[in-house]
């Protein structure tokens, strides 16, 4: 059974201008993982990074959310219509 058929409200968001679905109340990291997105930023030398500790300590999960850089994806809840991009 698909995760999106379970109880709970389905919401949508975009990551790098592509639409995805998530469950209301999920963190951004959880929503990205559920959609098989493991890389959410690149370092200054283009090394890919993704969530590591999932508790706000390592800062590997930084993304750009609704125009704001440096948002920790593991600590922010996903909201319907949220626009997320790789952190710059």
The CATH number linked to 49 is 3.10.20.440
Question: Is 88 exposed, middle or buried (CB count within 10 Å of its CB: 0-12, 13-18, 19+)?
Answer: exposed
In this structure, is residue 2 part of a structural domain?
A: no
Q: What's the pLDDT tens digit per position in 41-81?
A: 888 899 999 999 988 899 999 999 999 999 999 999 999 99
| Entry pTM | 0.87
In this structure, is residue 53 part of a structural domain?
A: yes
Number of domains into which the chain is organized: 1
Domain containing 17 equals 9-86
Residues whose CB is less than 8 angstroms from the CB of residue 62 and which lie 6 or more positions away in sequence, other chains included: 40, 41, 69, 70, 71, 72, 73, 87
Token pair 């200054």 in the structure block, residue: 44
CB-based contact 69:17 (threshold 8 Å): no
Q: What is the band of 7 on the pLDDT scale with cuts at 50, 70, 90?
A: low
> Helix, strand, or coil here: 16?
coil
Residue 62 neighbours by CB distance under 10 Å: 20
């Amino acid at each position: 059974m698909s995760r999106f058929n379970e109880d709970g409200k389905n919401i949508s968001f975009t990551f790098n201008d592509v639409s995805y679905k998530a469950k209301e109340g999920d963190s951004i990291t959880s929503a990205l993982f559920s959609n098989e997105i493991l890389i959410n930023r690149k370092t200054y030398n283009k090394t890919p990074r993704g969530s590591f500790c999932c508790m706000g300590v390592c800062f590997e999960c930084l993304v750009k959310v609704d125009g704001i850089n440096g948002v920790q994806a593991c600590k922010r809840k996903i909201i319907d219509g949220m626009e997320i991009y790789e952190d710059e």
